[in-house]
Amino acid sequence: MKLIVAVDNNWAIGSGNDLLFNIPEDMKRFKAFTTGNIVVMGYNTLLSFPGSRPLPNRKNIVLCDDPSVNVEGAVMCGSLDALLEELKNYDSDKVFVIGGAMVYKLLLDYCSEAYITKIQSAGENPDKFFPDLDESQDWEIFETSEIREHNGIKFCYVTYTKK
């Protein structure tokens, strides 16, 4: 299993159930990685999408502990055990954890690769954070892209692998 996330320079990922930055190139990269694959998310992440609908052209698996919630086009899992059981049906190389903060923390130990967009700015009023992989004994940098820029926002892509 892999994960994909954009973090600011403090490893913040969101504010008010929204992303901190809108970088079209990063959105295209996210789409390229996840289209045709399986995406795993929490219910709040699903609600943050346009129309609160599952992402098209992907198998959407949503972790939600409310058994009354049913979302057309998504597989709902009510617990970590149910989610892990569901994921046995898929090639783990095609599974991408896409958020939010709680789901990233819950599944980080199950992932072998992390595709991190590192934004070299601080987001406004962040309230959700990702674990700092640079401080982790379990992860190492495999590859780093050149620095890019969008509307004055500098960022790069860093691939981490689990040791």
Query: What structural domains and CATH numbers belong to the chain?
Result: 2-162 (3.40.430.10)
Report the pLDDT value the prediction gives residue 6, as an integer from 0 to 100: 98
> Which residues of the chain, if any, have pLDDT below 50?
none
Report the pLDDT value the prediction gives residue 125, as an integer from 0 to 100: 95
Q: What stretches of 17-143 show up as alpha helix (H) in DSSP?
A: 24-34, 43-48, 80-87, 101-107
Closest listed residue to residue 39, CA positions, set 114, 85, 98: 98
Closest listed residue to residue 41, CA positions, set 86, 109, 97, 84: 97
Tokens representing 126 are: 């962040």
Q: What is the pTM of this model?
A: 0.96
Q: Which conformational region is residue 73 in: left (phi greater than 0), alpha (psi within -120 to 50 degrees), or beta?
A: left
Report the pLDDT value the prediction gives residue 124, as an integer from 0 to 100: 93
Report the pLDDT value the prediction gives residue 29, as an integer from 0 to 100: 98
Q: Give the three-class secondary structure for 161.
A: strand
Report the pLDDT value the prediction gives residue 120, as an integer from 0 to 100: 96
Cβ atoms < 10 Å from Cβ of 116: 22
Report the pLDDT value the prediction gives residue 59, as an integer from 0 to 100: 98
Closest listed residue to residue 30, CA positions, set 146, 117, 107, 90: 117
Report the pLDDT value the prediction gives residue 153, as an integer from 0 to 100: 96
Exposed, middle or buried by CB within 10 Å (0-12, 13-18, 19+), for 16?
exposed
Report the pLDDT value the prediction gives residue 84, as an integer from 0 to 100: 98
